[in-house]
Amino acid sequence: MSILLHGQRTIVFLAAGTLALAGTAIVGAIYFSGDTQTRAPQGDTPAETASTRSFVIHEAPRSLPEIKFEDGNGESLALADLRGKTVLLNIWATWCVPCREEMPTLDALEAKLGGPAFEVVPLSIDRAGSEVVRKFYAETDIEHLGLYIDTSMRVSIDLQAPGLPTTLLIDSKGRELGRLVGPTEWDAPAMIAFLKTHLTSN
């Protein structure tokens, strides 16, 4: 009887172990499948090689709420004021370390692509106001970026930004084409090539 019980317990333990391994494999498959889905489509692979994080490109452009903010002169602006050009809207703050690190690459991107058809819009949510942003620009030799600020921090809620930095790619009609959460090297050749494909598709 004891031998029989021991054998039954062994079978139970083996079965439980097999189920645990199978569960792990299923969870792993779901995780990697989900990760793949967040990457840019096959045709947009340049963005994938530029960073470990990829743009989440939507199947169709999405409408955005009307957000309000100010420029460096205290003039009121809205997202609608930027229509007519492709916009890379970067939500950031001077107290965000990854934001600070990627800002020079955004400056280089604006120098490379900025013009009537494209603009990098770094929208700070610093509650301390535009002076801290202006000081940061001076300390890091930011020369090509405009100064935009929302001291209410409302923009991060309205645009459902899960963290900083969050960057939205917005078409000339004011619709969101996709977004990237986290920092990246915006002036990498592959990223520039990726963004150019969306400039011509607007």
* Angle, CA of 12, 18 and 21, to the nearest 5°: 140
Lowest mean pLDDT among 28-32, 92-96, 138-142, 185-189: 28-32
Lowest mean pLDDT among 45-59, 76-90, 142-156: 45-59
Measured CA to CA in angstroms, residue 73 lies from 54, 77, 80 at distances of 34, 11, 19
- β pairing state of 176-181 and 56-62: antiparallel
Six token digits for residue 58: 């939507």
Six token digits for residue 148: 């935009």
Residue-level pLDDT at 133:
98
Query: Which amino acid makes up residue 60?
Result: A
Q: What is the pLDDT of residues 9-20, one digit of tens each?
A: 444 333 444 433
**pLDDT band with cut points at 50, 70 and 90 for residue 5:** very low
Residue-level pLDDT at 198:
85
Residue-level pLDDT at 199:
85
Question: Does the structure show a pLDDT above 90 at 68?
Answer: yes
> In the chain, what are the domain boundaries?
1-37, 42-199
Q: Is the peptide bond before 165 cis (omega within 30 degrees of 0)?
A: yes
* Angle, CA of 166, 77 and 153, to the nearest 5°: 40
Six token digits for residue 166: 């969050």
**pLDDT band with cut points at 50, 70 and 90 for residue 200:** low
Residue count (the chain): 202
For residues 171 and 25, the model is more confident at: 171
- Evaluate whether the domain defined by 42-199 bears CATH number 3.40.30.10: yes
Question: Does the structure show a pLDDT above 70 at 136?
Answer: yes
Residue-level pLDDT at 32:
23
Q: What is the pLDDT of residues 30-67, one digit of tens each?
A: 222 223 233 444 443 444 544 535 788 999 999 999 99
Let me know if 175 is exposed, middle or buried by CB neighbors in 10 A (0-12, 13-18, 19+).
Answer: middle
